[in-house]
Amino acid sequence: MGNSFGKLFVVTSFGESHGRCVGVVVDGCPAGLPLKADVIQKELDRRRPEASAGSTGRHEEDKVEILSGVFNGMTAGAPICLIVWNKDVDSTEYEKIRCIPRPGHADYTALVKYGGYNDYRGGGRFSGRITAGFVMAGAIARRLLNIIGIEIVAHTVQIGSVEAAPKAISAIKKNVERNPVRCADLKAAGEMIKLIEKVKKEGDSIGGIVEALALNVPPGLGEPVFDTLEGDLAKAFFAIPAVKGVEFGAGFPAAAMRGSEHNDPFAIKKHNIVTLTNNAGGIAGGISNGMPLMARVAFKPTASIAKSQKSANIKSGKSLDLSIRGRHDSCIVPRAVPVVESMMAITMCDFAMRAGLIPGVIK
Amino acid sequence: MGNSFGKLFVVTSFGESHGRCVGVVVDGCPAGLPLKADVIQKELDRRRPEASAGSTGRHEEDKVEILSGVFNGMTAGAPICLIVWNKDVDSTEYEKIRCIPRPGHADYTALVKYGGYNDYRGGGRFSGRITAGFVMAGAIARRLLNIIGIEIVAHTVQIGSVEAAPKAISAIKKNVERNPVRCADLKAAGEMIKLIEKVKKEGDSIGGIVEALALNVPPGLGEPVFDTLEGDLAKAFFAIPAVKGVEFGAGFPAAAMRGSEHNDPFAIKKHNIVTLTNNAGGIAGGISNGMPLMARVAFKPTASIAKSQKSANIKSGKSLDLSIRGRHDSCIVPRAVPVVESMMAITMCDFAMRAGLIPGVIK
Amino acid sequence: MGNSFGKLFVVTSFGESHGRCVGVVVDGCPAGLPLKADVIQKELDRRRPEASAGSTGRHEEDKVEILSGVFNGMTAGAPICLIVWNKDVDSTEYEKIRCIPRPGHADYTALVKYGGYNDYRGGGRFSGRITAGFVMAGAIARRLLNIIGIEIVAHTVQIGSVEAAPKAISAIKKNVERNPVRCADLKAAGEMIKLIEKVKKEGDSIGGIVEALALNVPPGLGEPVFDTLEGDLAKAFFAIPAVKGVEFGAGFPAAAMRGSEHNDPFAIKKHNIVTLTNNAGGIAGGISNGMPLMARVAFKPTASIAKSQKSANIKSGKSLDLSIRGRHDSCIVPRAVPVVESMMAITMCDFAMRAGLIPGVIK
Amino acid sequence: MGNSFGKLFVVTSFGESHGRCVGVVVDGCPAGLPLKADVIQKELDRRRPEASAGSTGRHEEDKVEILSGVFNGMTAGAPICLIVWNKDVDSTEYEKIRCIPRPGHADYTALVKYGGYNDYRGGGRFSGRITAGFVMAGAIARRLLNIIGIEIVAHTVQIGSVEAAPKAISAIKKNVERNPVRCADLKAAGEMIKLIEKVKKEGDSIGGIVEALALNVPPGLGEPVFDTLEGDLAKAFFAIPAVKGVEFGAGFPAAAMRGSEHNDPFAIKKHNIVTLTNNAGGIAGGISNGMPLMARVAFKPTASIAKSQKSANIKSGKSLDLSIRGRHDSCIVPRAVPVVESMMAITMCDFAMRAGLIPGVIK
């Protein structure tokens, strides 16, 4: 269980890395939204390894098929099932490591939880490939958010120890798709690319941080005390494999700040109330305040590395050194940018619906 | 909406800071659990300001009343309603700031969302006082977890820029209740106390970080892809006012790590599979791996400060300087420790139930 | 678990028949709704035994207390907790039958499910008294429905074998509160009263049928395929103790009809599309069609009777004859009318919210 | 929205009558259940028109494809996506009636709700064809129930005014698949077949009643007060198109009974507590009592008839007479028997999981 997300805009994920397909059912999308495959395909293509530095050698066409819910090029008010078929599957490497869990992977926890019946090939349900479904659902969510003017953009702010300098939102939007690490700071982008190549050569991997922004969010979204913006966004982000931290606004560094420093002062700007800083990341009391929503998502380094690692054979109970070949991302972060955007879009779409902002029929 | 949390162990929060009471309904607690008021009271008392450094001058007796669900000192299988009455209420300061949102508070977002009808006195639903309900529910969750051997402990690891040195779990358990900042590193604790006093004198406030541990968690808990341990725990933590970041295991610093460094190697120990490090924080693929669960929760500095701040009158549209008197915590972190524990207990209890680990009737 | 109902308008029930109180938390009520105790009290009073024929000798004041969610006489956007204290409790009769389940009651099933820990006094959670909470929540739902013009009315259409003649909606509204069986057919009402008195004298009880109408429901409410109007209404009605059947429109007799007879022909009336008959009960495909919603709810006879009955002692395993004294309704149906209305109101309110018909803030 | 059902065993429906496919995602099925296509196919075949009297001329192969969640012939603990492709689609008749709603159908309500964007061909989401998804999910649920000994069987008890005589459970199991109306009373079955043929010749349709039984249900299933067995089963049954009534045990006739007559007396039989009658239909207080669960589901006559009917053109606002050609069931009831079983199985499976009766991994 646990494969559905959302209250009014409900996303149900299915499929495995080396199974027949990866898919998603989106329930709750209003009728009347123009939706052709190309809109979804465009987002899927951003997620393809070819578009990012440090990515896997697995080449999937990832061509979306719309199985239901769209009629005459418009959403029909019915659940929308979308799939991509798995084609470039090579499971030869996985059989031999069935009893030897790979460090950093979910092999062991899945084995325990599913009694060994889980599809372990390519990580099965735990593969980053599952996020193709998130991106398809996210493409729909973004279209709905566009109707009410909300825009989602994410960018890489850190790879390893290379940090991007802060950039204006306009620069982020302009630069992020122009380089294969999706970093708005082009100088840092260059260093990030070099770092990823270095790490790859060493048979190792590296982590990073993605920052996600939701722009033009009207004040008043969020349903505290439990369904806070932060809480539901965090839950959505943690569904992405390799995410180990989520923070909003000033985030963890806020712990070292004074109230007089962290509190965002209010001011009036063109008859609207705004804050002069955005340490809150656009959220107060779990509710949007009209400023840009700002989240940062920390990715651990990709678990798959070529270097030899210590593991143990579960059946024999013996320790051993494990070397894995395979086609893996040495840095998942650049490819994760559209996935982070998708999870943010899905979550914000649900909140917008709960606030009654998206009409039941799009006209 | 949004005031219920959990799937099988469902916690519904109600009450306001200056209303009649703060309460909670716990639905899904199995029958047969011995439950007297003192068990809950003990946890509530840990949350009282008297028990912590840097706390509010508001003194509430916070005596729990069990309104339903307990019969002859045992849980009856029925929803358990628990309340504490509000007694020491002083709302005089709040009327005058009704149109002037306090920086860092949810005054403005609540005003927008609820059209000005929300109970703004003392922060209403957005007050830290609401967490009294979380603690009462958490006390029940902890009892249920105890049955299957799971133990929850949290401690302060940072106040402002004072960081605690890492301590063994045994030291954490031993030291945490022995000092008013709930820090296991007694030397750092002393500095934290000084810092809080200094900050208080300056009419300011300070943030911090709480680390939460769940011990003896069996492998296999968690329901990916969406209901991951990280995702649901994070959602639970973000329900606590002032939380702005959540990370697991190595967390944000993992972004700068190599895979060869971050991946926890497997080994066999007393016929069990363990990891030699715990960068994963006890969670792989959203599922527990049998190692201690480890989360860190970042608190921004308390929004209420005595210092003058910039705000604006929403009605007149004029900027102004705002000074607030009142009884506030200059550092919420020490008091938040039992609250963090409670949210972790509630979440883990739900996961344990979903995994069928807690029997339908306790015997 | 299972004590919450609704998706956006969420009702959580708590309390036991002979415990401290019976209560409800209503989460999702928009802010800005004028709500004073008297509005709720009025509905509670309709449910009091004094208002109905054939009712229990237990006399509860049932004075509602608002514990949260209402501020300055208006809903505040926060969860609303409402309770009535139990005062006229006499548990003496229950102790001796602890091991001897009463036929027709939930004594045995509760004993098995809750391992004997359930509060068995007066039926505990299974008592009709729990419906006081439903009625309090229903009073709020009705106010919200009134805003969009939806009106709920129920009436007794059968007691035992006495059936009411069909009456126009205007007559139903006029007559139903004028007689203690809440029947719109005044002649049948007289016979029903006589029947109930006869049955009571015999130490027996009798069942009946309540018809519920929702008027001015706009077309388009309902969320098929699973969250149909019929499905969610039925689920709500079956939460009322003693309900054993629910039907819509022509209902069970539709089984014997031809399509040409049952299909409601369409026609244009004042530029609106209407149906000339209402065999569908206002629902097609699980969605409202603009005609009056019409449900019928069948109540079995009250389980509590004075006559001797066969039962068995669970501990000794011996069969025996059981005679119960106590204060019971010989016919629950008249008192159930406001409860049926409440469950219909709660459900329709949730559907209206899901359709975006009720604003987030009432103005 | 509204296309998911269940709390732990979650069924998500998708697909349209004349779209590409009809499908279902089953989330929450434990790992380790042997599941090959033939098990599901067998149930699908029972639903095919060829297997039942009075059925549509549309001939679909309805060959199940397993898209996810099954690995090496066993469930993998992952969501299971199952589809049947639509092949024999003839949409020519539907275009011309786009603005003329067919009486008894959901054409009008869907048009209003989805603003005209819904796939109206063949009824779209409102077609009985959607139940192919229910049956696929039901096949899995039945397998899980079998593990704990629960058996589901349904049979036709009424077609039009022809009622079947009550039969023993053994006779029901033996006879129900032996005749094309799935009636255990073979004499009545003959009359039912004749009636359906007569009705068909007249260009008309006829309704009926299906009785569903769940056998060997242990006492203690059900989660009152809201998630009662009756409530959730009723909600599940009302998801089947054309269902307009649901009752349990004595059902509606209980309204005319005395308590002394309806209350099921307890007795001891082989050291177990049983009831001597089953007017409660195996459910007391919303919880199973160990006796056979018994529900009756009323179907209105099929909406599609050849006879001319009154309708109106929504655009022109003019009344008219409508004649529809097409391939329709003159009586849906016999085909609905496996669908009713499926919905009962899905619901009971969820309750069994909530009671912890089905292990997390099947061994």
Chain C: list its partners (3+ Cβ pairs within 8 Å). Answer: A, B, D
Could you tell me what percentage of chain A is helix, strand and coil, using 3-state DSSP and rounding each to the nearest 5? 30, 25, 45
Segment C302-334, tens digit of pLDDT: 999 999 999 999 888 899 999 887 667 899 999
- Contact (CB, 8 A) for B276 and B264: yes
d(CA D116, CA A362): 11
Mean pLDDT across the stretch C31-54? 91
Mean pLDDT across the stretch A236-258? 98
| Percentage of the residues of chain B whose pLDDT score is greater than 90 | 88
Three-state secondary structure of chain B: CCCEECCCCEEEEEECCCCCEEEEEEECCCECCECCHHHHHHHHHHHCHHHCCCCCCCCCCCCCEECCCEECCEECCCCEEEEEECCCCCCHHHHCCCCCCCCCCCHHHHHHHCCCCCCCHHHHHHCHHHHHHHHHHHHHHHHHHHHCCCEEEEEEEEECCEECCCCCHHHHHHHHHHCCCCCCCHHHHHHHHHHHHHHHHCCCCECEEEEEEEECCCCCCCECCCECHHHHHHHHHCCCCCEEEEEECCCHHHHHCEHHHHCCCEEEECCEEEECCCCCCCEECCEECCCCEEEEEEECCCCCCCCCEEEEECCCCEEEEECCCCCCCCCCHHHHHHHHHHHHHHHHHHHHHHCCCCCCECC
User: Cα torsion at D271, D277, D280, D283 (round to 10°)?
Assistant: 20
d(CA D163, CA D298): 13
Regarding the domain delimited by B4-354, which CATH topology (the fold level of the hierarchy) does it fall under? Chorismate synthase, AroC fold (3.60.150)
Under CATH, which number does the domain C8-354 receive?
3.60.150.10
d(CA A81, CA D67): 12
Contact C360 A355 (CB under 8 A): yes
d(CA D174, CA C249): 35
Q: What was the pLDDT predicted at D326?
A: 67
Mean pLDDT across the stretch B327-340? 92
- Contact (CB, 8 A) for D23 and D84: yes
Q: Is pTM beyond 0.90 here?
A: yes
Segment A127-154, tens digit of pLDDT: 999 999 999 999 999 999 999 999 999 9
**Which chain C residues contact residue D252 at CB under 8 A?**
209, 244-245, 247, 252, 298
pLDDT category at B326 given cuts 50, 70, 90 is low
Nearest partner of C311 among C103, C125, C168, C109, judged by Cα: C103
- Whether residue A95 has pLDDT greater than 80: no
Q: What was the pLDDT predicted at D217?
A: 98
Nearest partner of D77 among A2, B284, A130, B6, judged by Cα: A2
Contact C356 A359 (CB under 8 A): yes
Contact A79 D13 (CB under 8 A): yes
d(CA C204, CA D262): 11
- Contact (CB, 8 A) for C133 and C23: yes
- Whether residue A118 has pLDDT greater than 70: yes
Give the 3-state secondary structure of residue D200.
helix
Mean pLDDT check: name the lowest of C92-101, C152-161, C276-285, D139-148.
C92-101
Element (H, E) at D41: helix D37-47
Nearest partner of A80 among A45, A29, A120, judged by Cα: A29
- Contact (CB, 8 A) for D287 and C113: yes
**Which chain B residues contact residue A158 at CB under 8 A?**
255-256
Q: What was the pLDDT predicted at C57?
A: 67
CA of D348 to nearest chain C CA: how many angstroms apart? 15
Does the CA dihedral B222-B228-B232-B238 come out positive or negative? Answer: positive
Q: Is A112 on the interface with D (CB under 8 A)?
A: no
Segment C208-252, tens digit of pLDDT: 999 999 999 999 999 999 999 999 999 999 999 999 999 999 999
Contact B71 C118 (CB under 8 A): yes
pLDDT category at A91 given cuts 50, 70, 90 is confident
Mean pLDDT across the stretch C53-74? 88
Segment D313-355, tens digit of pLDDT: 988 889 999 988 766 789 999 999 999 999 999 999 999 999 9
Q: Is A109 on the interface with D (CB under 8 A)?
A: no
- Contact (CB, 8 A) for C8 and C353: yes
ipTM above 0.95 for this complex: yes
- Whether residue B99 has pLDDT greater than 70: yes
- Domain residue spans in chain B? 4-354
**Which chain C residues contact residue D234 at CB under 8 A?**
231, 234-235, 238, 246
D-facing residues of A in 9-68 (CB < 8 A) are: 9-10, 12-16, 19-21, 23, 25, 27-28, 31-32, 66-68
B-facing residues of A in 204-243 (CB < 8 A) are: 204-209, 219-220, 222-228, 230-232, 234-239, 241, 243
Segment A177-227, tens digit of pLDDT: 999 999 999 999 999 999 999 999 999 999 999 999 999 999 999 999 999
Q: What was the pLDDT predicted at C327?
A: 65
Query: Most B CBs within 10 Å: which of A114, A131, A266, A307, as the mutation test of the B interface?
Result: A266
Segment C3-19, tens digit of pLDDT: 999 999 999 999 999 99
Contact D31 A114 (CB under 8 A): yes
| Percentage of the residues of chain B whose pLDDT score is greater than 70 | 99
Contact A356 C354 (CB under 8 A): no
Chain mean pLDDT for chain D: 95
Q: What was the pLDDT predicted at C74?
A: 98
Taking CA atoms, what residue in B is nearest to D6?
A: B7
**What does the block give as tokens for D23?**
């499908």
Contact D31 A118 (CB under 8 A): yes
User: Cα torsion at A317, A323, A327, A328 (round to 10°)?
Assistant: 80
Q: Is D111 on the interface with B (CB under 8 A)?
A: no
Residues 6+ apart with CB under 8 A from D130: C225, D13, D15, D16, D17, D22, D241
Q: What was the pLDDT predicted at A58?
A: 72
The highest-level CATH class for domain D9-354 is: alpha beta
**What does the block give as tokens for B194?**
């000084």
Q: Is C199 on the interface with D (CB under 8 A)?
A: yes
Distances (CA, A) of C98 to B30, B71, C62, C321, D218: 20, 14, 27, 15, 21
Taking CA atoms, what residue in D is nearest to A84?
A: D67
pLDDT category at B1 given cuts 50, 70, 90 is confident
Chain mean pLDDT for chain B: 95
Segment D55-101, tens digit of pLDDT: 766 777 899 999 999 999 999 999 999 999 998 777 777 776 788 99
Contact B248 A245 (CB under 8 A): yes
Mean pLDDT across the stretch D227-231? 98
According to DSSP, the β-strands at A21-27 and A80-85 are: antiparallel
Contact C113 D219 (CB under 8 A): yes
- Contact (CB, 8 A) for B138 and B44: no
**Which chain A residues contact residue D25 at CB under 8 A?**
3, 12, 14, 25
**Which chain C residues contact residue D312 at CB under 8 A?**
266-268, 273
Q: What was the pLDDT predicted at B327?
A: 64
- R_g (Cα) of chain B, nearest Å: 21
Chain mean pLDDT for chain C: 95
Contact B8 D360 (CB under 8 A): no
d(CA D60, CA D49): 9
Q: What was the pLDDT predicted at D327?
A: 65
Residue B69: burial class (beta carbons within 10 Å; 0-12, 13-18, 19+): buried
From start to end of C206-292, where are the E strands? 208-215, 243-248, 266-269, 272-275, 283-284, 287-288
**What does the block give as tokens for A154?**
């994410």
Q: What was the pLDDT predicted at C195?
A: 97
**Which chain C residues contact residue A7 at CB under 8 A?**
7
Residue A61: burial class (beta carbons within 10 Å; 0-12, 13-18, 19+): exposed
Residues forming a β-bridge with A295: A212, A248
d(CA C69, CA B125): 9
Segment D90-135, tens digit of pLDDT: 777 777 678 899 999 999 999 999 999 999 998 999 999 999 999 9
d(CA A281, CA A263): 11
Q: Which amino acid is at C271?
A: H
- Whether residue D297 has pLDDT greater than 90: yes
Mean pLDDT check: name the lowest of B254-268, B326-340, C188-202.
B326-340
B-facing residues of C in 338-357 (CB < 8 A) are: none
Residues 6+ apart with CB under 8 A from B190: none
**Per-position DSSP letters for A148-178, written without gaps between them:** TT-EEEEEEEEETTEEPPP--HHHHHHHGGG
- Whether residue B138 has pLDDT greater than 70: yes
d(CA D251, CA D254): 5
**What does the block give as tokens for C299?**
């109540």
**Per-position DSSP letters for A278-329, written without gaps between them:** -TTTTEETTEE-SSPEEEEEEEPPPS--SS-EEEEETTTTEEEEE---S---
pLDDT category at D238 given cuts 50, 70, 90 is very high
Nearest to A12 among D27, D75, D361 (CB): D27
Q: Is B245 on the interface with A (CB under 8 A)?
A: yes
d(CA A101, CA A107): 5
- Contact (CB, 8 A) for B117 and C76: yes
- Whether residue B259 has pLDDT greater than 70: yes
Taking CA atoms, what residue in B is nearest to A297?
A: B252
Nearest partner of B284 among C293, A102, D60, judged by Cα: A102
